[in-house]
Amino acid sequence: MASRRRRAALCLALFLAVPAAGQTRRIVAISHRGEHLHHPENTIPAFQEAIRVGADFIEVDVQTTSDGKLVLSHDGTVNRCTNGTGKVSEMTFDRIEVLDAGIKTGPEFAGTKIPTFDQVLDLARGKIGVYVDVKNASAQDLVSHIDGHGMTDHVVMYCGLRLARQIQELNPRLKVMPESNTVENSRLLIEQLHPRVVAFGARDFTPEIIAVVKQANAEIYVDRMGATDAPEGWQSAIDAGADGIQTDRPGPLVEYLRQKGYK
């Protein structure tokens, strides 16, 4: 019986993933931490390169300093990516601002700063969408900054259920993007949030969960990094129903999507 249900879910997901005759699917390319294989991650140079190669979104990690400033850092500390040490949440913005976030990538990036969320929103406006991975920030701060920069319709917010509810209460127009995780969790998220887009990782990108999200008419943005971050993996994700792909290789992904008519 379980096997039969899995086959039925797979057939449904594949059916829903196929566009109607005459329609062309559009797949969005999401540049993970900007173009960070050759540029310092989560910095303006990485985001500028993602814009240059034609990505649709830059993925950014937002943290809050001890004095309430929103800055970009994937890690909770500055140790890995800068010439400093310490927890972002325990550092003032003045301490963050003097750090060098580029020197570890290469001497040509020496002097690159950790950007503020405001700087990134300014850079992105009119050029590219922003996929916000909320590491440590309040709903009020996020919404006020995004709305204040005129980016309300050009942002997706990757966050948990509680924060997603708070964001929706403040501005229902903002796209919250919860993680699917399981069939049961996806149904709960759909019931409570009615999201327009749902995030998937490699582990939960399964036919059963895909079918639940497709039935709710939500888009699917999938993380296909690692060994699957290549043409075969991209096409596999598209065939299974992905509407957006997060990548470490935005240039090659954009070129692939253009060649295949997805962009």
Cite the active site residues. 32, 74
Strand, coil or helix: what is 240?
helix
Cβ(159)–Cβ(134) below 8 Å: yes
* CB neighbour list of residue 122: distance below 8 Å, 6 or more residues apart: 149
User: Tokens 């943290």 map to which residue?
Assistant: 63
Locate 49 and state its tokens: 């390169």
Cβ(169)–Cβ(142) below 8 Å: no
Q: What angle do CA 253, 256, 261 make, to 5 degrees?
A: 125
Cβ(55)–Cβ(128) below 8 Å: yes
Instruction: Name beta bridge partners: 57.
Output: 30, 129
CA nearest to 71, candidates 38, 98, 111:
98
Locate 36 and state its tokens: 């960070």
Strands 28-32 and 129-134: unpaired
Q: What angle do CA 35, 30, 33 make, to 5 degrees?
A: 40
